[in-house]
A and B are shown apart, each in its own frame.
Chain A
Amino acid sequence: MSPTETKTEKIDGWNRPPVIAPDGEGELLEVAMGPHHPSTHGVFRMDLALDGERVVRLKPVFGYLHRNHEKIAEQASYLASMPYTDRLDYICSLTNNWAYALAVEKLVAQQVPERAEYIRVILGELTRIQNHASSIGFLIQEMGASGTPLMYAFKEREKILDLFESLTGSRMMCNYMRFGGCRVDVSAAWLDATRKVVAGLPQFVDEFETLLSSNEILMARCQGVGILKPDLAVNAGVTGPMLRASGVDYDIRKVDRYGIYDRFKFRVPLGDHGDVYDRYMVRILEMRESIRIVEQALKEIPGGPIMDPKAKIRGFRPKPGEAYGRIEAPKGELGFYLISDGGPNPYRYRVRPPSLINLTVLEDMCLGSNVADVVLIFGSVDIVLGEVDR
């Protein structure tokens, strides 16, 4: 588009002032990327202003998948919100269950039996492994390697989902955790099956790394792209693998030590550059650490009840008060903030979704990069729109 052609106040019939390029020459091209773009993991729009191939401005537009989760929860009983939390981040429903159960348990000062805590850790870490595997798969898919790496990731994810299905009855919408424990007990056969799957996981991660980590195309596309500086990451409230890829040592499993995480030996992987490649590597390393946690938990899991006998299911009315329960979900800090007025439903129910807050730094990461890299940077944030829009 030459400058002489574009000296009009109207762009495609739209009555708006033209955006002037920073150097003062010519106009910018405005592109709406999404909401049906296949790389946007759902329905999400990015309004880009392009100077040639370079991104000058990026405005994220979300809300297409808004379904009033918080308001519905304020009108439903505490238990009835549990299946809705599955639908927030539908890739990892068990960690959502856990965060919500933790918030309600804090609200009513409910104890959780030992065995239930172990089951929660096992399921939470398996969820982390399958989330990271599929998120890397999607990232590579967005880079242009259509199919193979994603299918490798899904092959392994399938095994973990089979475990979830045989325990909870559903592959993705598990609805498993309850206030004061878990819904059904794990059988010895299930634990054996889990041990078998977990024993095969390190081989999968190795295979995945052989396939990808030293791939020249991946390195060329990912290294030095979408750099997020640690101070910006902290100021913007970014959490999860994205924050750690920027080199900030912050993991709620270590900070809060919720549940029984103080009993396990694991390390928190950190990145140095904060680019897409570091985010990819941090996820790979986190999968390895999660495998270690699951192995330890499977070794130590005690017998006993899975549900506190004092826990109430029907007629659940917490005393007036408030609580904020947060966990390290695979995508970052997932928190539930509840205010009770003594009634059967929460007075205020608020979700702090990691995806939404990690997305706020998208523009800062994308400025100055190419359009093709925007897709990649967006993929490396690892979001699920169900959680962003709620």
Chain B
Amino acid sequence: MNIERAALAPPLKIQQPRTTNHGSRTTISEDALLGEGILKGMAETAKNFFLSYVSKERLTTVEYPEQRIPTVEAARVFPFLVYDGVDWEAGLRCVACQICEKECPPKCIYIDKSKDKKPDYVGKQQFYPTRFDIDISVCMSCQICVEVCPFEAIKMDTEFELATDDRFGGLLYDRKQLARSNEYYHSIHPTEASEVDARLGEEKAKVEAKARAAAEAAAAKAAAPPAPPAGGGS
């Protein structure tokens, strides 16, 4: 057999395991009792069956609606929008930059940018979405919107029992349905949310320090110069 491709492989020093032992393998033997292998397998099954009463390891199923396995922290289902404070509309972190809309692989996010601006969490004037719809019948839970969002505004929910009898409107979530409070975010992804809060707090502190410094400088400027103009103006 002339196989050039196999020649690419460097010579192997170790003995490869074979499915057969020197050309002969386990076959149905004429001497042994026919069905011995089957009985051996059945003994294995019986062992599992009876031990499942004793060991929890062997009992792997749960009865779903009554018994629930808690979702893991990293679980992701569909995205939601985070808002700070009490009012969902005022506190939305989203600034309608439309990066997620552009990066979304199945293109299931629809955003309309506002004409006016409102202050964000650091007090900076930003646009906000007048429409933010996610078609969750198209969404494939890939988390790319979360990864590309520079404002920590969109995160993944863990709620999975979302069945509805309305195929169209019921599965197109608008921004009110998508809005969830930061507390809710903390309750489903505690570690991740704390990291995000720390990062945002740091940024806010930096902006505030900068603003304070600027204000102080302005105040100092405002306080110091009045003398010369007062003198010169008269």
Contacts and interface: CB of A to CB of B under 8 A. Distances in A.
- Our verdict on whether A and B bind, yes or no, reads yes
Chain B's interface size range is 35 or more
A215 B38 contact: yes
Contacts of B225: none
A167 B74 contact: yes
A250 B9 CA distance: 7
Given A83-B140, A165-B75, A269-B16, A210 B44 contact: yes
A173 B34 contact: no
Nearest to B192: A184
Contacts of B147: 183, 313
B164 interface: no
Contacts of B18: 269-272
Contacts, number: 145
A278 B23 CA distance: 12
Q: Report the contact-size class of chain A (Cβ under 8 Å from the partner).
A: 35 or more
A211 interface: yes
B140 A211 contact: no
A282 B20 CA distance: 10
Given A250-B6, A271-B18, A81 B105 contact: yes
Contacts of B41: 210-212, 214-215
A143 to B, nearest CB: 13
A175 B20 contact: no
Interface string A210-251: 111111111110010000001100100000000001001111
Nearest to A254: B9
Interface stretch (A34-42, A72-80, A296-304, A361-369): A72-80
Interface string B1-43: 1010110111010111111100101111000001111101100
A231 to B, nearest CB: 6
Given A175-B143, A223-B27, A234-B5, A148 B16 contact: no
A267 interface: yes
A175 B76 CA distance: 11
Given A77-B103, A272-B23, A248 B6 contact: yes
A255 interface: yes
B195 to A, nearest CB: 11
Given A210-B41, A234-B3, A313-B147, A269 B19 contact: yes
A271 B20 CA distance: 7
Most-contacted residue by chain A among B20, B104, B156 (CB, 10 A): B20
B68 to A, nearest CB: 15
A289 B17 CA distance: 10
B213 interface: no
B194 interface: no
Counting chain B CB atoms within 10 Å of each CB, the highest count among A234, A245, A251 belongs to A234
B19 A210 contact: no
Contacts of B17: 267, 269-270, 285, 289
A148 B73 CA distance: 32
Contacts of B10: 254
Contacts of B76: 169-170
A158 interface: yes
23 contacts: A80-B104, A80-B105, A82-B142, A82-B144, A169-B72, A169-B76, A169-B143, A170-B76, A211-B44, A211-B45, A213-B26, A214-B37, A216-B38, A217-B38, A231-B3, A250-B3, A254-B9, A254-B12, A255-B8, A272-B18, A272-B23, A277-B25, A289-B17
